[in-house]
């Protein structure tokens, strides 16, 4: 059988590994920031109805421009956005990929501030874009002066700000985003995958008069729609036109469009669990603090916990009890998704035993 080393793959991909967290079937999965509350039955029935209607015409290609879905997403986001300012794809990762296909490339430099979402590096690499990860401040925050200073030094064409930041949960103020935008002439993408859990305002309000600003979102987290693979963005209409140049024909299936529209029609029910998730997130922070650990303040649906002497022992110990969390490669740290009340109770109990 041929193996990878025998294939004439691109030289810059030699030795690279696929991205992805471990997929282990355990009762409590708190490692990939999913919404563990799931889909309410009446919402599921709405999705079934919408997708069944779409199934009757699967012999035809879907609406290539998915105008109705874009209109509904614009209405959901507010801010007087028009459908022409919205784009959607198969998860926010595809939004990021199309963004880099349009604005990146061999002669382009992109920067972000880390630790942050590791897919930025992967997508930059596959689009042959130079990517530099600059350090965040000591508490993982960003200030106006610091961002402005680092952008002026780096001279990038693309800047990505993840807010709330993954894996730290740190929010980014609108003032920092404005400072970043005003510091260079390139494209600024603000990744708001976890915005529904944040206390800080969305950067959507900054879009008017800023044609180089892009706001990326996902339905995977707050909407409990990870399996549907729906990501979207808001930007100037010209940016959307640019994305249409690189998208594959009919990239968003009729079934995906139908499911997403059903979710938006029932968004009130789907987002009803957001507050409960925030309660469990804060409960984790208080609980581990009492155990002598250091939880980082989080605006997302997860908590990054510092202070473990042996992260592998804790990871393996929790896994043996049917709980999986995420080792994101920062020494002494584990990231934990906020789950249901019962899941949080089990997590805190088992963690206390392991630390005792």
pTM recorded for the entire structure: 0.95
* pLDDT tens series, the chain, 356 aa: 678 888 898 888 888 888 877 788 999 999 999 999 999 999 999 999 999 999 999 999 999 999 999 999 999 999 999 999 999 999 999 999 999 999 999 999 999 999 999 999 999 999 999 999 999 999 999 999 999 999 999 999 999 999 999 999 999 999 999 999 999 999 999 999 999 999 889 999 999 999 999 999 999 999 999 999 999 999 999 999 999 999 999 999 999 999 999 999 999 999 999 999 999 999 999 999 999 999 999 999 999 999 999 999 999 999 999 999 999 999 999 999 999 999 999 999 999 999 98
Whole-angstrom distance, CA of residue 270 vs CA of residue 263: 7
**Which pLDDT belongs to residue 356?**
86
What whole-number distance in Å separates Cα of residue 102 and Cα of residue 125?
A: 14
Question: Phi and psi (nearest 5°) for 211?
Answer: -70, -10
41-266 maps to which CATH number? 3.40.640.10
- CB burial of residue 159 (10 Å; 0-12, 13-18, 19+): buried
Q: What is the pLDDT of residue 1?
A: 62
Domain boundaries, the chain: 4-38+272-355, 41-266
CB 100 within 8 A of CB 129: yes
Q: How far apart are CA 346 and CA 356, in angstroms?
A: 16
> Exposed e or buried b for every residue in 134-156, given b needs 16+ CB within 10 A?
bebeeebbbebebbbebbeeeeb
- Predicted confidence at residue 192, as pLDDT, reads 98
Residue 313 has a CB neighbour count (10 Å cut-off) of: 11
CATH number of this structure's domain 4-38+272-355, picked from the four choices 3.90.1150.10, 3.40.980.10, 3.40.50.280, 3.40.50.2000: 3.90.1150.10
Whether 93 and 123 have beta carbons less than 8 Å apart is answered as yes
State the Cα–Cα distance between residues 242 and 246, nearest whole angstrom.
7
* pLDDT tens digits, one per residue of 13-23: 888 888 877 78
């Amino acid at each position: 059988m041929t193996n990878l080393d025998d294939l004439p793959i691109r030289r810059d991909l030699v030795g690279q590994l696929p991205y992805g967290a471990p997929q282990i079937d355990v009762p409590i999965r708190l490692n990939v920031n999913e919404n563990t509350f799931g889909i309410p039955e009446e919402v599921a029935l709405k999705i079934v109805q919408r997708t069944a209607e779409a199934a009757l015409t699967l012999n035809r290609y879907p609406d290539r421009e998915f105008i109705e879905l874009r209109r509904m997403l614009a209405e959901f986001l507010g801010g007087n956005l028009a459908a022409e300012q919205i784009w959607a794809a198969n998860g926010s990762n595809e939004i990021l990929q199309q963004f880099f296909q349009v604005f990146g490339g061999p002669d382009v430099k992109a920067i972000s501030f880390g630790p942050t979402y590791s897919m930025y590096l992967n997508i930059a690499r596959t689009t042959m874009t130079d990517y530099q990860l600059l350090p965040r401040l000591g508490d993982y925050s960003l200030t106006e002066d610091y961002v402005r200073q680092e952008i002026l030094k780096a001279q990038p064409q693309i800047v990505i700000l993840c807010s709330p930041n993954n894996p730290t949960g740190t929010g980014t103020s609108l003032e920092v985003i404005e400072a970043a935008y005003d510091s260079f002439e390139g494209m600024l993408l603000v990744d708001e995958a976890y915005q529904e859990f944040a206390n800080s305002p969305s950067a959507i309000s900054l879009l008017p008069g800023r044609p180089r600003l892009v706001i990326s979102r996902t339905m995977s987290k707050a909407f409990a729609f990870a399996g549907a693979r729906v990501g979207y963005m808001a930007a100037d209409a010209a940016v959307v036109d640019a994305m249409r140049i690189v998208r594959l024909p009919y990239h968003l299936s009729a079934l995906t469009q139908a499911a997403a529209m059903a979710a938006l029609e029932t968004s009130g029910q789907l987002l009803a669990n957001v507050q409960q998730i925030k309660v469990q997130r804060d409960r984790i922070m208080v609980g581990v603090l009492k155990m002598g650990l250091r939880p980082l303040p989080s605006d997302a649906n997860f908590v990054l916990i510092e202070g473990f002497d042996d992260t592998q022992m804790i990871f393996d110990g929790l896994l043996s009890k049917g709980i999986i969390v995420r080792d994101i490669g920062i020494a002494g740290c584990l990231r934990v998704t906020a789950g249901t009340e019962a899941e949080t109770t089990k997590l805190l109990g088992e963690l206390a035993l392991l630390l005792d």
